[in-house]
Chains A and B, each alone.
Chain A
């Protein structure tokens, strides 16, 4: 009846038990509050079933932030174990649990934090920046989001029911095969990523088509805001590489569930094939994350320098060449697998070539500041922090691109420091900069500067303290994923410094939480107009409270930095003529489909075959039904638009 699911699946360790109870209690409190304040209908109508990309974007960011807290606590446990309990055989974190913790940390940070923040930004910014009212496929967008949520829930369920993967964030076989990991952990990993990965793929396709087909009249490709270019390149990578992830995971699932032998050590399976496949997705994935961060900085630097972006064309070519090159470098993740010298050298060289367009971008950002008026508001501080740290990451990246150097660094903590250098210094700093920059557009008030700066300094110093020592430890021979090490090696001091660094980062996160709370509390004092930073792109032309249709009229644009041009043109604006606007109606199909997918994933993990069959049928039925909706749009009549516009624009002009 319940497959492998027995009472034994409940948590054994006090830490996981505590976390599971914490999550459960938190969930019950939320449900109770919603019921007490009778907010269920409101939640369902205004948020859960909404097809408005602005609302979907906000939900992405909220989920990503919650997951950041979860994965940070994993990080803190890793650091605590290595700094304090390394020599203690009675550590509260057993080796088995340690494996699950670092696997969860990596998986959640990449798939549910970085990807979530990124898709949140896509949803919030792209339609506005291209002057559109919506994305190309609004319902698909909602389905993508809810599949992401289903994957997220599944990965967190593993805390309370069963276990998580012990095989690292990419689950290399044969360790991830049944022979060496017979538990449910790897299955949780597979199905959580399988479900959210399909969501990511659909989302990537959606934004690709949105950008290609829904730009405002006159916005040629080379007139698009640079952030849109970054999303375009990132979406291309998603569309072409996520299928590889889906297939690799499926094959691994077939091995584990149906006893096949794609990647097993014996019976003709080939684990090296998996390593190739997963990195053929995995390396572009890194650029899927970093390109939008580059895009955000390319918006922020001109605005805060009050100067147009230097070398727009170069920037576009740099993005495009990084996108193309990122498909050609995956083998640098396993130079040590014994490929011939020709192969290794080829992939080493393609890897270091990426440093060229990336370097060009840094120079162009700097020369955007050159002869500008630079305001060092928080987003700009994140930019400075990004250049300083990312450059270090670039150097250590080029080092590892040389195969013989990689032979001495691979899988050591040097590597760990390098990719955190790129993902914290690049992706996260970019996300924080973009968050601070775009926050007032959606909230109507800006975030408190002082607390933002405090958070920035904590993150920067914490980052240097946490990862500087790891570089040195790597050179001393410390390898990744150790739950303990021989005390005679003399590593503990550096691990303690790294632990202090994580504590400082946590303080930064604390400041960020306080910053948001305090800013909401003081929102009257921090209130700003619709264009608080003297913006250049279309999103800043919307009224203070963005109407659900984004733009009442779709006037043609003629230049890059369209809003900047509008503000500086001397033409009198003609009285706008409003027309009826058609917007997609709400739909619950995102929730239904994702719920079926979640149940299916859970049933397969626990081998509850009848439930798997039922949920699969339901999943297919719901998907078909979602395509058969009638009356998908509602019409906002012209006079209602005029009324709304008068109210929104009249209030503050």
Chain B
């Protein structure tokens, strides 16, 4: 177990080290200072202006920015619906994938537009290479870029920057100058590790014992890296990075693991640089890291226990190996389970449904918070909502108007913060209530009966609302009720918070700056960190305590009886 901890610390440490220069690069690319740009950079910016056309000239306020964001996301939705709906007529389909059912198309497109990547299908048996590349992978790039653009604009408003805000320019910068170069480096490394990258159809071989085996393959490497980097999570193959061709060994696993968190952490540094509140960003980073470390410790400890079902059988003592792959090593799976739900990624390298009961609680907690690094950009914006609420509570306690970064937080901001915050529990708990009441929608679709079945459903709604996309895959989720319910929850979970968070930033930007006094709650102190951490834990977790008890905790308690 000690080596599992060492591995976790090493991977987290390495990720933070990489995120430092990356954050700086992101800042330079997203907010280019006209007088500091090199000639090449100037040319690229000019190119973006030329491609976007007249739309690039506007300086957008938060409302105009949000409208452009929604227009672009609508186009994403329309294009990929077309790609998936007509895949049987499109090229690059060597394995002859058939037409896809309507509600599954809706669910899949929604899932990838919202950066969730919940998959109610299995890639190798449903999608053509064309759909994988021009549908799924394209959305993985641009939905991540949407988040990065949003957090950049939000940071400019919060920092009172007079720089121009233009959604399309930000999109181009995020996609082509930040995400694409990192993806290209990562994809090259993964290809060298041994991931497939071919346009040939599945290989058919005769095994040593003479059976016929069909081995699915394809342009795997390019998609795997962006699914990791873009907090997307939707894999090429059904079992995601558990599949040996999607995650070929120990080192590809490390690369993919680091890719889970570097851009989300980089967003925090970038926020500090744009707002010129670097120490404040450091405090935010510390809060996120502490929460992440606590989850890592719990997950690794719980998962080192053997599977209860093998108790009393002549089986050698080992950690729980159900749903795990040997080449990745013992500590790799709990580490990944925490990282993938710290961020809103949702890729997996073991079957979360087969995690020990208490370990299964940790990814759930991660998604309930959804901010300990969080999705690209939107994770930071999620924490920003907690900050506004935390600052407000503190202000009430000392009896003065709360302030954040020199701006007064007043009724309007709180009115915006509450729906952004409460949409998450409402979607999860509301959805659970409905699906528990209708057995044909809920109970009849679970694989494992009892408390674990409850957790399977809880995980599905949590993952949808958190725009995560991992799953307790025992759930038979490719049904019309699940496809539509999860689709709606993903849309609400993505766009309602983004709109309100941008609204808060826009509203604060319009206010006059108030001078700092002795009574001001300083945002760059440990005390502030404790306040934010407390707000996250109390508001984020308490709401979900009852369902946690009904699901994973109850299942754990039954194991004590044996």
The answer to whether A binds B is no
